[in-house]
Amino acid sequence: MASTIPRTQIAAWLEKPEPGARLKLRSDIEVPSPKEGEVLVKLEYTGFCHSDVHSIYGETPMSTDIAGHEGVGRVVELGSNVPAEMMNARLGVKWQYSTCDTCEICAVNPTACPNQINSGRNTRGTFQQYIVTPVKHATRIPPGLKSEIAAPLLCAGLTMYSALAKARLRPGDWVVIPGAGGGLGHLGVQIAAKRGYKVIAIDTGESKREMCIKLGAAVFLDFKTNSIEEEVMRLTNGFGAHATIVTVGSDTAYDQALKLLRNLGTLVCIGLPKSGLGLPISPFMMCVRSLSIVGSSVGTAKEMDELLEMAVKGDVKPEISVFEFDEINNIMEKLARFEIGGRVVLRLPE
């Protein structure tokens, strides 16, 4: 099968991360060869995450020339010491491309490995037809789950799944999700509802309200028309929510987040404000109310498998818009202007 693999491929190439940068579609990018423990994957679909836009525009660190971190495709070539049954396996290539697996952090939770390599950050990502990936860190996509549905679960879905786990909630607990109608938030609503949590979805607009309620939110609050803090306290009998999971890079959402919590509550931070906002934390209030603040980024391999199992059952399904790969610059501009709801998925050329 290796003889059918071309020497070069199509990729969306970035000359330099900077504001307003454009991606150049090139057909002369060399197809990499897998080394020991690696496989070559021919990608079928890749998600286009808002974090990709931030990287391409120079707002977050990026030291490679091909972005993307939500790729799904099939194995077309094996490196040495890779079992033969991996040929033609359907794999997902995630943000966490690899970890060192030797440090003290990896022994506890490899998602926080200080030596990790990330797709689209410091190694070439999924905006290309072919990608090499270590078998150990790739995700097997289960039968019955479409590739275009699986792609956004590799980052957005996993991020929300892990964030909810870090909140240490029990069925019947209240969880507030600012940005509930967005690409991350709408997945969080589904996961939380299926686990029996009572979701207070915060966003704006009738279409977002309808979607959040359809996906399982107990209540929708419009931040443009509702008094958020007052309504959350009313709904929770004056105690506040058990957790707030901020999915958006909004200063206002973070300013409010701790005020929405009950004593012993947990704030989980996901969204990254452009402003470099510092959280308005009172050590006195943190102590007397026993509040917790947790940062979260992606999730473990076990959490990934559990989420994909939910997706196969139909318990979680991303709202996606699928576009052709050659539309990538137009789509990037729309993402930057927040003109596309749900998750964006690009179809790679055959």
- The answer to whether 149 and 317 have CB atoms below 8 angstroms apart is yes
Residue 267 pLDDT: 98
CA–CA gap between residue 206 and residue 342 (Å, rounded): 15
**The CATH number of the domain covering residues in 158-295:** 3.40.50.720
Task: Examine the pLDDT at 157 and tell me if it is beyond 90.
Answer: yes
Confidence band, pLDDT 50/70/90 cuts, at residue 20 = very high
Q: What SS3 state is found at 321?
A: strand
CA–CA gap between residue 275 and residue 256 (Å, rounded): 16
Task: Examine the pLDDT at 333 and tell me if it is beyond 70.
Answer: yes
Across the range 111-129, mean pLDDT stands at 97
Q: What SS3 state is found at 69?
A: coil
Across the range 311-317, mean pLDDT stands at 97
Residue of 126, 152, 129, 131 whose CA lies nearest to 141 = 152
Give me the half-sphere count of Cα atoms (radius 13 Å) on the Cβ side of residue 1.
Answer: 12
Measured CA to CA in angstroms, residue 316 lies from 20, 80, 267, 273 at distances of 34, 36, 23, 27
Measured CA to CA in angstroms, residue 9 lies from 27, 30, 127, 177, 299 at distances of 5, 6, 11, 41, 31
Token pair for 112: 């926080």
pTM above 0.85, yes or no: yes
Task: Examine the pLDDT at 159 and tell me if it is beyond 60.
Answer: yes
- The answer to whether 122 and 113 have CB atoms below 8 angstroms apart is no
Give me the half-sphere count of Cα atoms (radius 13 Å) on the Cβ side of residue 93.
Answer: 35
Q: Where are the domains of the chain?
A: 2-141+319-347, 158-295
- The answer to whether 338 and 208 have CB atoms below 8 angstroms apart is no
Residue 162 pLDDT: 98
List Cβ neighbours of 339 (8 Å cut-off, separation of 6 or more).
Answer: none
Residues 177-216 have pLDDT tens digits of 999 999 999 999 999 999 999 999 999 999 999 999 999 9
- The answer to whether 202 and 228 have CB atoms below 8 angstroms apart is yes
Topology classification of domain 2-141+319-347: Quinone Oxidoreductase; Chain A, domain 1 (3.90.180)
Confidence band, pLDDT 50/70/90 cuts, at residue 275 = low
CA–CA gap between residue 131 and residue 125 (Å, rounded): 7
- The answer to whether 142 and 83 have CB atoms below 8 angstroms apart is no
Task: Examine the pLDDT at 3 and tell me if it is beyond 60.
Answer: no
* Placement of tokens 């330099």 in the chain: 16
Confidence band, pLDDT 50/70/90 cuts, at residue 1 = very low
Strands 90-93 and 71-78: antiparallel
Across the range 161-187, mean pLDDT stands at 97
- To the nearest 10°, the Cα dihedral for 72, 115, 107, 299? -40
Residues in the chain: 350
Kindly state the helix (H) or strand (E) to which residue 257 belongs, with its residue range. Answer: helix 251-257
CA–CA gap between residue 328 and residue 345 (Å, rounded): 10
Q: What is the mean pLDDT of the chain?
A: 95
- The answer to whether 294 and 246 have CB atoms below 8 angstroms apart is no
- The answer to whether 175 and 79 have CB atoms below 8 angstroms apart is no
Q: Is the pLDDT higher at 157 or at 1? A: 157
Across the range 309-338, mean pLDDT stands at 96
CA–CA gap between residue 338 and residue 53 (Å, rounded): 11
List Cβ neighbours of 12 (8 Å cut-off, separation of 6 or more).
Answer: 23, 24, 25, 66, 67, 68, 127, 128, 325, 328
